[in-house]
Amino acid sequence: MVSEDRICVGAFAGAFGVRGEVRLKSFCTEPEDITTYGPLWTEDGGSSFEIAIERPGKNEFIASVVGVRTKEAADALKGTRLYADRDALPSLPDDEFYHVDLIGLIVQDAGGCEVGKVVSVQNHGAGDLLEISGPGMKTPALLPFTLANVPTVDLTAGRVVIDPPEGVLPE
């Protein structure tokens, strides 16, 4: 179980070359900031990594990891998601949210009726989408996460209020 005190900021994508360098995917707004958040942790918090970006790669970085010196050791890290301590991350403006904070929120329509819950936040390049699942939905709904569609996000109350375009949610 991931601690609420840590946020996923990237992942190892495998080895690069034979000297222990890794391919590093960053999920940060400013991708190169991934190494500025202190040691990065595994999902279970059992291991931490000190990482240095060596150079940019294609849609990733080529990085070195303290203690990793062989291709085999770098390959063994492939798929490992990397988490930073929340207090090491920058504060967000009032209208921005970490994805992990949105997952699990109750979804209500403008009339206050519960529609379901946010089960994930996806981004395929054109902006964030809230994946909403709830009673009466055979498949989850994907709602673009815009101010027009989601006018209220209340983390304290654990809810979002949505005003989706017609056809997004089942009738």
In order of start, what are the domains of the chain with their CATH numbers? 6-88 (2.40.30.60), 99-162 (2.30.30.240)
- Dihedral (Cα; 121, 124, 126, 131), 10-degree rounding: -30
Contact 132, 107 (CB under 8 A): yes
Q: Please check the confidence at residue 118 and state whether its pLDDT lies above 70.
A: yes
- Report the pLDDT value the prediction gives residue 1, as an integer from 0 to 100: 41
Q: What would the mean pLDDT of 144-169 be, rounded to a whole number?
A: 93
CA 97 vs CA 82, 100, 121, 137: distances in Å: 19, 8, 11, 26
Give the mean pLDDT of 132-138: 91
Containing H/E element for 73? Answer: helix 71-76
Q: Are 157 and 165 in contact (CB under 8 A)?
A: no
Q: How confident is the model at residue 2 (pLDDT cuts 50, 70, 90)?
A: very low
Mean pLDDT along residues 61-90: 95
pTM of the model: 0.76
Confidence tier at 3 by pLDDT (50, 70, 90) = low
User: In a 10 Å sphere around its CB, with 0-12 CB exposed, 13-18 middle and 19+ buried, how is residue 67 labelled?
Assistant: exposed
pLDDT tier for residue 171 given thresholds of 50, 70 and 90: low
**Tokens read off for 112:** 């206050």
Per-residue confidence at 168, pLDDT binned at 50, 70, 90?
A: confident
